[in-house]
Structure 1
Amino acid sequence: MPIFVVYTNLPKDKIPKDFLEQACAFISKELGKPEHLVVVRVNADQMMSVGNSSDLCASIELRNITDGAKIKEHAVNITDFVERTLNIPKDRFFINFTNERGEDISFKGKTFG
């Protein structure tokens, strides 16, 4: 049930056409979760700034049912993925990791916990 959300001021037409598929496959592999449970959302053309500068930037959220033990490793790998695929410098975005409880998330009418 990972939910990967990218908010960016990058124009929609600059997002690679296959970014959703790339991100889904990457997050699935990175977290060891089945692709059919991964949600990817991109909110392009956002009015936003980082450090009082509206140069190319992003705010990223990753919500997942996890114990959080590998967040430091995921931070490095996701940062590299975003920088490589969207060309957003790693000093121009933050990633907010949220660990969810399985009982608070449902799919097909059943919770994960």
Structure 2
Amino acid sequence: MPTFAVYTNLSKDKIPKDFLQQACAFVAKELDKPEHYVIVRVHADPMMCIGMSSDPCASIEVKNITDGAKNKEHAVNITNFVESTLNIPKDRFFITFTNLRKEEVALNGKTFA
């Protein structure tokens, strides 16, 4: 169920070919969830800027069933992962966490509650 969405102005050819698999494994381990529940989406090459600069940048969204207690720790680790795999400086992307309750997520027609 964790969703890891990356919106970046990098062109598709700048995204490592195995990024989806790397990100899936990383997110599963980081959030302590099974890999088969992890969704990774990459939206490459949209028109984006941070401030007045369109240098490489990103917006990262992390949705997870959690109370958010570990978001501070996750922020450090996700930042390091994104910076090292996509080569985007850590001051050029934001991470937005959405903490969901079990009642708000369903699989196979049933919520996780």
Task: Give TM class, smaller chain.
Answer: over 0.9
For 2:84 and 2:53, locate their aligned partners in 1 and report how far apart those are by CA, in whole Å.
21
Cα deviation for residue 89 of structure 1 reads 0.3
Render the CA deviation track for 1:82-102: whole Å, top value 9, x for unaligned: 000000000000000000111
* Greater than 4 Å deviation, 4+ residue runs: none
For 2:32 and 2:86, locate their aligned partners in 1 and report how far apart those are by CA, in whole Å.
23
Gap regions ≥5 residues in structure 2: none
> Which residue of 2 is the match for residue 70 of structure 1?
70
Q: Give the percent of matched residue pairs that are identical in Structure 1 and Structure 2.
A: 74
> Which residue of 2 is the match for residue 30 of structure 1?
30
TM-score, reference length from structure 2: 0.98
Structure 2 counterpart of 1:68, one-letter code:
G
Gap regions ≥5 residues in structure 1: none
Cα deviation for residue 51 of structure 1 reads 1.4
- Count of aligned pairs: 113
Render the CA deviation track for 1:17-42: whole Å, top value 9, x for unaligned: 00000000000000000000000000
TM-score, reference length from structure 1: 0.98
**Two-structure CA RMSD over aligned residues (Å):** 0.5
For 1:6 and 1:22, locate their aligned partners in 2 and report how far apart those are by CA, in whole Å.
13
